[in-house]
Amino acid sequence: MMCKRLRLCLAVALSSSLAFSGLAQAGSDKEAAQVAAAGQQALAEGHYAEAQANFQRLAKLAPQVAEVHATLAAIYFQQREFELAVREVRTAQKLKPSLPRLDSLLGLSLSELGQLTEALPYLEKGFKDSSDSEGRRMCGLQLLRTYTGLSRDAEAVETALALNKLYPDDPEVLYHTGRIYGNFAYVTMEKLHDKAPNSIWMLQAQGEANESQKDYDSAIVAFNHVLLIDPRRPGIHYRLGRVYLARFHESQKPEDQDAAVREFSAELDIDPENGNAGYELANLNATRGKPGDAIQQYHAVLEHYPDFEEALVGLGGVYLENQKPADAIPLLDRATRLKPEDEVAWYRLAQADRATGNRGGQAKAIEAFTRLHSSTPVTLRKPDADDAITPQQLGPDAETKAPQ
């Protein structure tokens, strides 16, 4: 944060100019001009203690020059002496209200002192009207803190969205706006709990929270409670299937896998067009050695959702395992066009091209796979859509070598 403070400090100092004509008009003598020059030089070189001493002296020599107090306020802010910064900003504003950036500096200083209500209008003005990108950014970040401190969560989220739009790649902005979104979600869920603790929505939220924390037993209880209230509620059997599937991956108990099949099938009875449930059921059929059922289920999904990339890759994989590489190629080729960064699709396409004797296609697929596989560490690969479905996986041999 210090480098950001420095930029704001310099911006205020440069905007005030400390024009020597101002000192001359105030009747200042040669000593004042020399002190001003020394102070500006020290400030430019980052010698803040020296600059502070010079401008403190200059404020006594030329007390009616607003630019002196503005620059001294910027130095105090840089040195985290916020009370002194506020005092000097107010002095400068009385002497010359037209000086730029002082409202922003005042708002930032007041906010640092915890005087949130008083700081708010200055920060809002600085964020809305400032032509200085760094000053606007700092006002926006302080606005997040101020709105949160005043329990104005909706306005904090609105400011966070604006900051993300203005500074989409700024890591500090991303960090603080992410915290705002998380806090808002928490506050909203707390309100749901207070207003409707026994509602279907609260039970569903509890199930999802337990699932995210891998408390699978509690998640199953919560989702089943929802079904007791509304037996045909869409999406709940699917969530139960995902919980059983996650628990199976940890425990390897066949009954959990059986339960997942049962729940995905139940979801399709309620909502035949639930592509995610159909996809998971197709995956399970493939895993359980039922290629005919898997192919039929994948086709049912792709009939409704022809651009379901993971389903294309999954069906291509089943065809490969059953010695039908020619049937796999158009599916995998389409998958790589829909999602060029999917290394599993490229890997399987290389296998299919090799099996059909397409050496040119094989070489292209191997090159794409190798590039993707080597550039993304395994630990950084993540499922699609926040783990909404089970992603297709590379075989164990793919971790050590590319398809030959």
State mean pLDDT over 365-393: 70
- Is residue 12 predicted with pLDDT exceeding 70? no
Domain spanning 2-150 has what CATH number? 1.25.40.10
C-alpha to C-alpha distance for 67 and 74, rounded to whole angstroms: 11
Which token pair is 94? 């009385």
CA 156 to chain centre: 15
Backbone angles phi, psi at 273, to 5 degrees: -100, 15
Q: Report the chain's mean pLDDT, rounded to a whole number.
A: 87
The reply to whether the predicted model has a pTM over 0.75 is no
Which token pair is 338? 């829909």
Tracing tokens 């203005």 back to the chain, one arrives at 166
Say if residues 66 and 98 touch (Cβ distance below 8 Å). no
State mean pLDDT over 88-116: 92
Residues 6+ apart with CB under 8 A from 333: 349
State mean pLDDT over 34-51: 84
The ranges assigned to domains in the chain are 2-150, 153-195
Q: Band of the pLDDT at 396, cuts 50, 70, 90?
A: low
The pLDDT of residue 58 is 87
C-alpha to C-alpha distance for 55 and 12, rounded to whole angstroms: 14
Q: Band of the pLDDT at 266, cuts 50, 70, 90?
A: very high
